[in-house]
Structure 1
Amino acid sequence: MDLRTRIAAALKVAMKNKEAERLGTLRLINAAIKDRDIALRGEGAEDGVGDPEVLAILGRMVKQRQESARAYEEGGRLDLAEAERAEIAVIEEFLPRQLTEDEVAAAIDAAIAELGAESIRDMGRVMGQLKANYAGRMDFGQVGPMVRARLTS
């Protein structure tokens, strides 16, 4: 079952069970996906977004909410930070399991070995392969410095 179908099914269940917070988050997810569909249609694409793009949208949504929760905590608004974390929990239900640090390190080493990457000039190719193989399963903001460190040592 593709992600859109899973999200639509979860939305229906949330409506039936009258789960207001969950329903709101699922509607935000749908709106973000539809916004991307509309943008793609403007670029001439006939199909909507596929699962890889939906994973990217969900990943961005989680990252935005993590930053908001951190800002709310710093501002002393723990109630708003909790609301952001509740949204993160709903969004993460649709994301694949995140890789552990050891699994990320192994994936980086495998990509470097497979591509024969030797210098920092190969970083783009390594990151491209990791994004293609592990979209939504690792935080590429943290992976970039790890790849750079491996290629410069």
Structure 2
Amino acid sequence: MSELKERLSAAMKDAMRAKDKARLGVFRMTLAAIKQIEVDERIEPDDARVLALLDKLVKQRKDSASQYRDAGRDDLADIEDAEVVVLQEFLPTQLTDAEIDALIDDTIASTGAAGMQDMGKVMGVLKPQLQGRADMGAASGRVKAKLTG
């Protein structure tokens, strides 16, 4: 079992003991998503796969919160934001803009990327380094700006 999955299971047990229904719901949802991967793909996900799943869940919650706010449902958006906070406890610390730019510059130099045709090559090298530590959409935009500008 991956270390991250074990930490999530332990946190779920702690939330049960503390009778913290909000946190418990987040952990149950996350562990159910991990179980879905195990059943569908017949694999035991490693930490990298669990991290990618957590990153995806955070992105979904942020998108939902944004849509709820646009619809004037701040009460539901606050719930989504609270879930994001709980999930982010299990993600590595976020990179700063300067660190992301430095990684992008290093990757462009090491891959010899010359233009937009090399975007896929650059993102393929960057993704494992940024997974869970930065917004991939924003990073993609930065890579595109550097390759075109």
Query: Following the alignment from structure 2 to structure 1, what is the Cα–Cα distance between the partners of residues 143 and 120?
Result: 10
Question: Greater shift after overlay, 27-36 or 143-152?
Answer: 143-152
2:98 pairs with one of 102, 112, 125: 102
Question: How many residues are matched?
Answer: 148
Off by >3 Å, runs of 4+ in structure 1: none
1:8 pairs with 2:4: no
TM-score, normalised relative to structure 1:
0.92
Q: Distance in 2 between matches of 1:23 and 1:102?
A: 36
Give the counterpart letter for 1:104 in structure 2: I
Report how far residue 103 of structure 1 moved: 0.9
* Matches of 1:105 and 1:4, distance apart in 2: 31
- In the alignment, what sits opposite 2:119? 123
1:64, distance to aligned residue in structure 2 (A) = 0.9
Name 2:30's counterpart in structure 1. Answer: 29
Which runs of 5 or more structure 1 residues have no equivalent in the other structure? 42-46
Offset at 1:140? 1.1
The root-mean-square deviation of aligned C-alpha atoms, in Å, is 1.2
Q: How do 1:86-97 residues align onto structure 2 when only pairs under 5 Å count?
A: 86-97=82-93
Work out whether residues 55 and 131 of structure 2, in 8 Å CA contact, stay in contact via their aligned partners in 1.
no
